[in-house]
Amino acid sequence: MEKRRKVIIDCDPGIDDSLALLLALKSEELEVVGITIVCGNVPIKEGGENALKTLEILKALHIPVYLGEEKPLKRQLVTAQDTHGEDGLGECYFEKIEGAEVKEGAVDFIIDTLRKEKVSIIALGPLTNIAKAIEKNKKVFENLEEFVSMGGAFRIHGNCSPVAEFNYWVDPHGADYVFQNLGHKIHMIPLDVTRKIVLTPNILEGIRRLNNPIGEYIVKITKFYVDFHWKQEGIIGCVINDPLAVAYFIDKSLCTGFSSYVEVVKEGVAVGQTIVDKEDFWRKSHNSLVLNEVNSKEFMYRFLETVFKENHETLRKLKEVI
């Protein structure tokens, strides 16, 4: 068995973040050394509680959860509680997890971990925590192994405006600061690929029939999210953006893309837009690897096989309906 890759997951749980955490924590390829919470889908208090809920489902409360930035670098926080529910988990309003507490200091945790060892970061929310960590101690990022960020939109319309995707729209100053100062290529997982990752009613019904507590949790927290997708975009099912960033980190063959310079628009009508200079008009050094194609069926197989590895037999039938 190959050595597990050490990773920090920076997220704003959030329903799809929670599915991404399930995937990461059930993946034998990863060692999740910590979860850092950033303001985004919900305020960080709810984000922290929701991370603990997912850890409890997997009996993984030993993994530390750190609260990070409560608001974007410059803009006011605009949450996505219309999409993820007031509680951030589809208004299931789960009981508070007893015997486990979140910690403060996400930014310092990121810096201290990078100072100590080589580690990767998978960012599933606005990049405010990452920007603050670079601002505070850029040198330790020499120890960063790989950086994957779910965010942006290349050729597809946004989900917060005609051009802007939520994570980079919430904090465009933080996002652009990271794109310009990380010092490593950002593997950018935009809406162009994540919109192809849909939990359909068939798959959700198949998950329900696994009679597995994790499956029950997924069905419960996605109900609100499925209703939102129908009302908002006329989609049957729900797009799960964040798990693709985790799956791609584990297996790069799931997505293909190209190297490019990217910047995030910080002001004005196109605020939050990712300008992807694919044709190299500006001749700037490439700060990103933009993933614009995905094998969505293979992703779904991997997601189900990893999260429900105990239900091997039933999964075989479930895979026929994907």
Instruction: Give the residues lining the site for Ca ion (CB under 5 A).
Output: 12, 14, 17, 124-125, 242
Picked from ligand RIB, Ca ion, none, the partner binding residue 263 (CB below 5 to 8 A depending on kind) is: none
CB 21, CB 9: distance < 8 Å? yes
- Cα–Cα distance for residue pair 51/68, rounded to 1 Å: 13
Q: Binding segment for ligand RIB among 28-36, 53-61, 91-99, 160-168 (CB under 6 A)?
A: 160-168
242 binds ligand RIB (CB under 6 A): yes
Cα distances from 155 to residues 97, 190, 265, in angstroms, run 41, 9, 15
**Residue 185 to residue 147: CA distance in whole angstroms:** 7
Q: How far is the CB of 199 from ligand RIB (least distance, A)?
A: 14
> Interface mask (CB under 6 A) for ligand RIB, residues 104-143, using x and -?
--------------------xx------------------
Task: For residues 16 and 91, give the distance between their C-alpha atoms in angstroms, rounded to a whole number.
Answer: 14
Alpha helix positions (H), the chain: 15-26, 44-57, 81-84, 106-116, 128-136, 166-170, 172-181, 191-194, 201-208, 213-233, 242-250, 296-307, 312-319
61-100 residues near ligand RIB, rule: CB under 6 A: 80
Q: Which two tokens stand for residue 286?
A: 């490439």
Structure tokens at 162: 């005609």
- Of 125, 310, 299, 296, the closest CA to residue 214 belongs to 310
Min dist. Cβ of residue 10 to Ca ion (A): 9
Contact between residue 290 and residue 188 where contact means Cβ atoms under 8 Å apart? yes
- Which of the choices ligand RIB, Ca ion, none does residue 54 contact, using the CB cut-off of 5 to 8 A by kind? none
| Contact call for residue 14 and ligand RIB (CB under 6 A) | yes
Q: Which residues have C-beta within 8 Å of that of residue 270, sequence separation ≥ 6? A: 161, 163, 164
CB 183 within 8 A of CB 138: yes
Closest separation in Å from C-beta 280 to ligand RIB:
27
Least separation in angstroms between CB 157 and ligand RIB: 12
Interface residues for ligand RIB in 209-238 (CB under 6 A)?
Answer: none
User: Whole-number minimum distance, CB 147 to Ca ion, in Å?
Assistant: 15
> In this chain, which of 165, 171, 176, 192 binds ligand RIB, going by CB under 6 A?
165
Is 150 one of the binding residues for ligand RIB (CB under 6 A)? yes
3-state helix, strand, coil in the chain (%, to 5): 45, 20, 40
Nearer to ligand RIB, 129 or 311 (CB): 129
Which residue number, 210 or 244, has a Cβ lying nearer to ligand RIB?
Answer: 244
- To Ca ion, the closest distance from the beta carbon of 2 in angstroms equals 28
Which residues of the shown chain bind ligand RIB in the complex (CB under 6 A)? 12, 14, 16-17, 40-41, 80, 124-125, 150, 159, 165-167, 241-242
